[in-house]
Chains A and B, each alone.
Chain A
Amino acid sequence: MKKSEVPQDKSALENFTREVCYVKNEDGQYDTELSTGWEAKKVALDEAWKEIERRTSDAREQIKKGAASPILYFMEEKLMDFTVLSGYTGIWKFRIKRHLKPNAFKRLSDSVLKRYADAFEISVHELKNFKA
């Protein structure tokens, strides 16, 4: 890529930083240039976020139908997979999978709920009374 061809598109990097790109200068030597972003990858990131929103609203539907517990919603909202949630809560993955079921969730003690709530950065009250 030539220095003059470095894209300077609007992106989520705005007000955060510009990124260093390795490019060829006019003499054909390597040099660096700062870029504000590239549209091709901006769309990739935007699409990834749309997918997260879609998964989060799917989780809402599941909870409304009584097919999942609020843990599923907050997992999606916080972009967590089982490894990440297990790491933050100290609860084994297979137990988390069980807690995704509404009946198992209803029987959880406040101390277990507190571990989930802390991982999601919400209160136990919010977790218990989540309205999908």
Chain B
Amino acid sequence: MSEFIHHQTAHCENGVTMSLLQHHGVDFITEPLAFGMGSGLFYIHIPFMTVNNGPAISFRTMPGAIFKRTCKALDVKVERKKFKDPKEATRFLDEKIAQGIKVGCQVGVFHLPYFPKEYRFHFNAHNLIVFGKEGDRYLVSDPVMEITTSLSTEELERVRFAKGALAPKGHIYYPVEVGEITQEQVRRAIAKGIKRNCRDMLKIPGSIAGVKGIVYTSKKIRGWREKLGPRQAGLHLGQIVRMQEEIGTGGGGFRFLYAAFLEEAAVIMQNEELARISETMTKAGDLWRDSALQMSGIYKGRLTEQKDFDACADLLVEISAVEKQAFQELAKIKF
């Protein structure tokens, strides 16, 4: 098998998916294509739940879904395993590495030694590739890193068995069989990814998911200053900005990444409409950036009045409308 090539990407799961598939000869796959085929874009605000004492908001689909869906759409057979016993998990990993297989691993970042302390929260849905072993160090391709890195047996075991929400339980996954992928299959995978994303953004019942979820958050924001006080309200806004803009998102809450996908899809599907909707999605991303700036004015203490919170909320209402329009137009396209 050929030498493994490290790719840096915006988002870790896209990166692992893309790099593992490319390693298996799927040379056309890019990060935006993996993201789009996996219907990666999403929005959800889970009520009554807190993450690091702030609102539980996500701009992307659930962890693991992108790899699973993209591989399935391309008829790639996948092996995945979770473990109770860390030693057993390490034995299995060693076996695969000895066979020259490159594997994806879900890890927690709290104990990840090459991450700076500022980024080490108990976040358990990070993904990286183990592509070899030298002495007692595992060679690691972490998609957010510019270069490859390495981890000792103890370090890797520790992050693979991080505890808390979404505990990885040694989760390991890799493609086992990749056939010839036809242009027709690629087109079908794109169409399916778009349809599923339309469903997720437009059709989920209730008010907390998809484009309606963005309005839900806007309503919450209007009440935060009164309910939580300016300091706590500012921290809540800070949490939204971090979920939206921190490393791993590609900027604008994954919206730019999705716009890049639509642009690539327009060429492959030979559909001008997709290129036009890509522009709308870019606009949504730009608006998310504007809202992050407005929110930062509040948690910096520069903006303190109710009208400043309302301005954030108004922007979110506008974003929801822009994204609704984009997905309604996408839903109308006949592939």
Query: Contact residues of A with B, CB < 8 Å?
Result: 1, 12-13, 15-24, 29-30, 32, 34, 38-41, 43-45, 47-49, 51, 55, 79-81, 83-84, 86-88
Contact = CB atoms under 8 A, between A and B. Distances in A.
A12 B119 contact: yes
Given A40-B245, A41-B241, A17 B296 contact: no
16 contacts: A21-B10, A30-B278, A34-B146, A40-B241, A40-B293, A48-B52, A48-B235, A48-B238, A49-B118, A79-B121, A80-B122, A80-B164, A84-B164, A87-B163, A87-B164, A87-B167
B63 interface: no
B290 to A, nearest CB: 10
B300 A43 contact: yes
Contacts of A12: 116, 118-119
A128 to B, nearest CB: 23
Interface in B220-274: 234-235, 237-239, 241-242, 245-248, 250-252, 256-257, 259-260, 263-264
B260 A83 contact: no
Contacts of B286: 1
A88 B286 CA distance: 41
Question: Nearest 9 pairs between A and B by C-beta?
Answer: A87-B163, A84-B164, A44-B238, A12-B118, A30-B260, A22-B256, A40-B296, A20-B10, A19-B247
Contacts of B300: 43
B83 interface: no
Contacts of B116: 12-13, 15-16
B145 interface: yes
B124 to A, nearest CB: 9
Given A17-B145, A20-B250, A22-B250, A44 B239 contact: yes
